[in-house]
Each structure stands twice: as structure tokens, then as C-alpha cells.
Structure 1
């Protein structure tokens, strides 16, 4: 009797193992079709897997993703809900797909409520905060967008999209210095992607402050001073002074890269010197200390060339010709992060 029981268990285990292997084969097939943009074939493969395990969170999530790509948002949400209700693997990804589907259907406020609900359950998931911030940004609710994208950064400082969104939010709010800091960090993380050129152009356009020069070479600095006690006001004024200094005759022989390094050095150092114990938050506790340390290291020029490579051939050539400096900067960064 004992031998029969063991045999039955072995048979059951073999059947389950074969079924799981078949599910995995169908999933891999579906993913391959999905990656090739053939979402109908992907869904056909997933449906075969679903016959073997209708409640599989992996299969239902992959189906939600393929339906989303097909712009079949109703079915995408239905599959995502199965994963969310199971509260197992892929639950965060399912929330993201469902929230994005609601957004694409024009139900932005419902998407916001969904992400808020998800954050209450999973308060450390940076992508939930990022997508919530994105929805507020679309509704022009900049304060809420800023609040949530900062939380995304606090949970994952290496998420480039969050820094880029913060740069755009601050620019929309008229906070040039804060915008530049976030933009600098985005380019530090992502110096040569498709969107890096936009970020680099944005940085160079706004880095010299609002300065004009008339036909008689008279220089005018336009500075918008904050009505409240804004600790960034002095840095904002310095941006204008830097822009004016760049136009002086004694700087006419300097390359744009040389001026950029000098201006970046001044910008980072004055912010570091302005910092005191009263100032808290992401800017003063994260951006400013890091950039101040970069400015006081031997690697500022390397940093400037590194973040400039998307918009200029000269920095790229400089990086290729100075591999030892690049390696030294990399070593410094690794030691800095420890």
C-alpha cells in the first residue's frame, strides 16, 4: 500500500512538472511574439498556457501587457485585475498596466485613485509614485506632481525619468535653479539616450540665466526674485552674472566647453556654500552635496564632458582621448557611493 501511495505521488509530481514545462514553453513563445510586435500571436500562446493554469499571475500579466499594446484597454484591465486580486507575483507591474490603461482611456482621475490605493499597500515602490506624478503632471497639478516624483526619487535615486520629470516640473513652476539641478542629475544618469539631447539643450539654454546683449554690447541681466525667502535666490542671481560674464571680451577666446566647466564649477560651489543646517529636502540633502563634492574633486571637467556627450562631438572626442580620467572618475564615484 505504501509503495502504491509513493507511486501515485511520483505520478502526480511528473504530471505537474510536465504541465509547468508546457506553460513555460507557451509563455516564452508569447513573449517572443510580443517582443516582435505580433500581439495576436502572443495572446494565442498565452491562451494555451491559460488552459493549463487559468490563475497564473505570470500568464495573466503578460496577457494584460499584450492587450495594452493592442490598445484593447478593457481586456488589459481585466487581466491586470486577476493579478492584483491574487496579490502574488507581478502585482506592482499589474497596477502599472491597469493605471496606464485607465489613463489611455481618458480616465486620469481613476488612474490617480488606483495608484494612491496601490501606494497605501506598497509604499516603497518608486514606479507607483512616478506614474502618479505623471498623471498629476498631465492635469497640470504641478505641486502634487512634484511631491510624488520626489518620493519616487527618494525610493530610487537611479531612476532617470523621475529626475527628468522633476526638471520639467520645476521649470514649469519658474524654479530655474531647482530645474537645473534635477536636469544635471538626469544627464549624469543618462548622458547619451534619445532624450538626452533635449535635456542637454535645455541645460545649456537655461544655464546662463536670462541675459541679453544689445547692438552696442550693453548687457542686461533679467532676474526674477522670489517674494518669499527662497534659499535659491542667490544661486539664481549668480546664473545671470555667469551669463553676463560669458559675454565679456576677455572670455571671447574660450570655447563653449571651457565656459561650461567654469560655470558649472561656480554653480555647484555657491550652492554648496549656501547650504546650512536649516535647509532640508531632496535638493539640499541629495543634489547639492553631491554636486558640491564633484566640484571640489579632481573630476569636474570629466563630469562636464560626460554629461555633454549627447549634444556635442567635442566632449565625445575628449572622453575618447582621456580614458584614464574617465576611469579615475568612475573609481571616485564607486568610492563616493560606499
Structure 2
């Protein structure tokens, strides 16, 4: 019984230590002091090297420091674990995309979506990866994301932008209207509102002119 109580107390103290390190490191990162955040996280990881939260924080600290090679080290540790959350896959995918390692990023998103097929965020980011390679299959991922997680706004944003640059603007209008009713006061909302105005004008024959394919919907 004493051994069991000791084990429970030990793991509780580890969790508390990791949580404190997470909060301290996050406070440093908010001020742009990534070096001190990394020092705090290094010490915490020595005590709990398998902590998913600490590995996430370390990958992010190096990412924000723009040391993508080191961020990759911790991103790989995350994706090599058997049971990680959606945030870990997002962090890893973002790091690989920053390094332009698109094949690795593709593997990460496919693995993530197999485990979390209802995550709108993962479909959104996987679509972004495909679009960065000029792959029109991006729209398939965004529309899958809309079906799987209709409360997540990002896929409506991307789908509206994608269809705006096609001949038929109807889907752009539909997805755009849904998006601006979900996300109000952001830069993305302003962008889509302007896009909607242009699309409505085109549908009403108030303007003529052609549009080019966007760099990133």
C-alpha cells in the first residue's frame, strides 16, 4: 500500500513540475525570451523526458526562435510516440512545413487524420500543405473537414477562397457567408467580406475582369 501511495505521489509531483515548467516557459515565450523558455523546459525534460506537453513546448520554443532544425528534433519525438493529441500533430506538421520537408509533413497529416478523422484543424492544415504544392486536391481536404467538423471555421475560409478563383462563384459565396458568420473581427473575416462583395458584383454583372489563381487560399 505504501509503495502504491509513493508511486501515485511521485507521478503527481512530476505532473505538477511539468505544469509549472509549461506555464513559466509560456510566459517567457510571450515576451519573446525563447532562450530562457528553452532553459526551463530542458530542466523539466530531464525529470520527465516523455512529457508530451513539454515536448510540444520545446518544439514551439525552437520554432518561434526560428531554429527549425532543433524544432524538428522535438517534433520527431512527438510523432514517434504512440499516443499523442491533435496539437502534437499540428506542431509537427507546422515544423516540417517550415523546413519545406513536404513529404514528412504529408506523412504526419495522413497519420494524424487516420487517428483523428473528425479534426477540422488537421484537414485545414493538410489542405494548406497540398495547396502549397499547387495540388488542387487541397479542396477535397477542406470539404472533408467541413463535413467532419462543421463548427471549425478554417475550412470554410479556404474553400471560399479556392472557389472564388473558379468560374462558378456560387460555392465561394456559400462558404464565405458561413465563414463570416462564424468568425467576425479577424483579418481573415475582412478578407472574405471583400471577396464576397467582389463575387456578388460579378454575379450581378456590375464588374468585368478576370482573376488569377491565388498564392494561398
What is the TM-score of this pair, normalised by structure 1? 0.56
Check the 8 A contact 2:78/2:92 in 1, yes or no: no
Report the CA distance shift for 1:98/1:89 in structure 2 as closer, same or farther (over 3 A). Answer: closer
- CA deviations over 1:240-272 (Å, ceiling 9, x no partner): xxxxxxxxxxxxxxxxxxxxxxxxxxxxxxxxx
Match of 1:31, SS state, is: helix
- Equivalent residue, structure 2, for 1:94: 88
Larger relative CO (CA 8 A, sep 6+): 1 or 2?
Answer: 2
Please provide the CA RMSD for this pair. 2.3
Q: CA deviation at 1:194?
A: 2.3
Q: CA deviation at 1:203?
A: 0.9
Report the CA distance shift for 1:176/1:41 in structure 2 as closer, same or farther (over 3 A). Answer: same
CA distance in 2, matches of 1:212, 1:10: 75
CA distance in 1, matches of 2:161, 2:8: 55
CA distance in 2, matches of 1:111, 1:88: 18
- Does 1:42 find its partner at 2:57? no
- Equivalent residue, structure 2, for 1:169: 162
- Does 1:73 find its partner at 2:44? no
CA distance in 1, matches of 2:201, 2:5: 74
CA distance in 2, matches of 1:76, 1:94: 12
Check the 8 A contact 1:80/1:98 in 2, yes or no: yes
- Unaligned ranges ≥5, structure 2: 210-217
CA distance in 2, matches of 1:102, 1:18: 33
- CA deviations over 1:205-228 (Å, ceiling 9, x no partner): 220326258xxxxxxx89xxxxxx
- Does 1:124 find its partner at 2:118? yes
- CA deviations over 1:112-151 (Å, ceiling 9, x no partner): 2331232233322222211111112222222x01100011
- CA deviations over 1:61-114 (Å, ceiling 9, x no partner): 111111111122222222122222222343x22221221122111223432233
Check the 8 A contact 1:57/1:88 in 2, yes or no: no
- Equivalent residue, structure 1, for 2:213: none
Given candidates 73, 78, 85, the residue that maps to 1:83 is 78
CA distance in 1, matches of 2:142, 2:27: 33
Report the CA distance shift for 1:188/1:53 in structure 2 as closer, same or farther (over 3 A). Answer: same
If you compute each CA radius of gyration, which structure gives the higher value, 1 or 2? Answer: 1
CA distance in 1, matches of 2:57, 2:173: 38
Q: CA deviation at 1:40?
A: 1.4
- Equivalent residue, structure 1, for 2:130: 136
- Equivalent residue, structure 1, for 2:26: 31
CA distance in 2, matches of 1:124, 1:31: 28
- Unaligned ranges ≥5, structure 1: 214-220, 223-338
- Equivalent residue, structure 2, for 1:264: none
Report the CA distance shift for 1:192/1:75 in structure 2 as closer, same or farther (over 3 A). Answer: same
Q: CA deviation at 1:167?
A: 0.7
- Does 1:190 find its partner at 2:183? yes
CA distance in 1, matches of 2:4, 2:169: 68
